[in-house]
Amino acid sequence: MPCVGTVAGLMTGLVLAASEPVVVGTDAPFPAYTYLDDQGTITGFERDLMDEVCRRAVMDCRWRDVTFDQLIPGVMAGEYDVVLGGMAVTPERREMVDFTDSYHTTDPEEWYIGRPGAPEPSTALTAVQSGTMQEAHLRHMGYRHLVFSTEPEVLSALQSGRADLALGPFETRPEIRDFVAANGFDFLYSEPIPDEGVAMAVCKGNTALLTTLNTALDGIRRDGTLASLENRWFE
């Protein structure tokens, strides 16, 4: 699908105009990748990373906080030039968008949370966030599931008993562990959901912007800035 609107609409081979703002879309309630701080400002590992990319590429980047299921459709439609937010690279997503080089790896083992004694995923009703690879996994497995636009809605469905389990990127996040402990839940079941790492996505065929991003990311990786950011946010 060709890119439309915004900087992503530039034809392949044209140079990005420094005066044109680059619209960055993300789903912010996802520590430590992107989330809102106490002042309501988008912060996190990928905020710092993208800010550094924008600085090195001399791009005027403007952030938009939307729900995760709007990210890929939005970049395909030209509403955003770049989208990110702990976005795992998968073959299904590669058919829709182009990804930068990966800059972070994740544990492929994903966990279901719920009350002790809850049924196994194959028979349970599982709450999951729309547009995520966890939702794609449930569809692929043929498991019954309820889809919600935001993670808080997923967790609320589990709390209220509308769902037996919830599936998401939960295990390593302190705020999810606190939620699990406070509600008498547990990490009950796990299944491998492999991916190709975390990356930024742009509209398919937008070679100019993709090259600009990858060039900046390569420099960030080579001079140790990426390792420093990972140590700050994930260690």
- What value does the mean pLDDT take over residues 147-174? 96
Task: Extract the tokens encoding 86.
Answer: 């702990």
pLDDT of residue 8: 44
pLDDT of residue 3: 57
The pLDDT tens digits of the residues spanning 181-201 come to 999 999 999 999 999 999 999
pTM: 0.86
Domains and CATH numbers, the chain: 7-12+20-105+196-234 (3.40.190.10), 109-192 (3.40.190.10)
Task: Extract the tokens encoding 76.
Answer: 């395909």
Strands (E) across the chain are located at 21-26, 35-36, 42-43, 60-65, 82-84, 97-99, 109-114, 126-129, 145-148, 165-168, 186-192, 201-203
pLDDT band at 19 (very low <50, low <70, confident <90, very high): low
Q: In 3D, which of 160, 115, 154, 116 has the Cα closest to residue 135? A: 154
Radius of gyration of the chain (CA): 18
Helix and strand numbers (H, E) in the chain are 8, 12
pLDDT at 6 exceeding the cut of 80: no
**Other CB atoms within 10 Å distance of the CB of residue 223:** 10
The Cα 95–Cα 58 span in angstroms is 29
Dihedral, 48, 41, 88, 23 alpha carbons, nearest 10: -80
Q: In 3D, which of 207, 199, 127, 139 has the Cα closest to residue 168? A: 127
pLDDT at 15 exceeding the cut of 60: no
The Cα 71–Cα 65 span in angstroms is 10
